Amino acid sequence: MKSSRLSPQMSVADVLERWPELIPTFLEHRMACVGCSMAAFETLQDAARIYGIHPVRFLEELEAHLPPEEPSGG
């Protein structure tokens, strides 16, 4: 498996700002995170738990929807 750019402790707001491509995935799970003022304070793990999704599976799903890695990414 390639190295992950996502971690369970990343804030939902940071992730959505950096990768707007992931917005549909949140919406498909009927998560209210998109545009929520509290998204800065909740981690991906928090969000998955709240919606009863297994955190590891949720991260894998997000990972699958990430755009191809930029050469400069680190």
Partner 1 sequence: MRFRDTIGLVLTLKASLVTDLPLSDILQKTALFSGLEPAALQAVQLAAHTCQSAAGSYFFLQGDPAERVFLLTRGRVKLTQMNPDGSQVLLRAVGPGTLFGAVALAQGELYPVSAESAEDSGGVYWGAASLQELVLRHPQMALNAMSLMAERVQEFQQRFRELATERVERRLARALLRLASQTGRKVAEGVLIDLPLTRQDLAEMTGTTLFTVSRILNQWETRGLVTLGRERVIVRFPHGLVAVAEDLLPPQTSQP
Work out whether 56 is an interface residue with partner 1 (CB under 8 A).
no
Determine, following the binding rule CB under 8 A, whether residue 51 of this chain makes contact with partner 1: yes
Residue among 17 and 69 whose Cβ is closer to partner 1: 17
Which residue, among 10, 12, 18, 17, has the nearest Cα to 32 in the 3D structure? 12
* Bridge partner list, 11: 43
Residue 34 in the binding site for partner 1 (CB under 8 A): no
Spatial separation of the C-alpha atoms in residues 5 and 74, rounded to whole Å? 9
5 is a site residue for partner 1 (CB under 8 A) = no
Min CB(51)–partner 1 separation in Å: 5
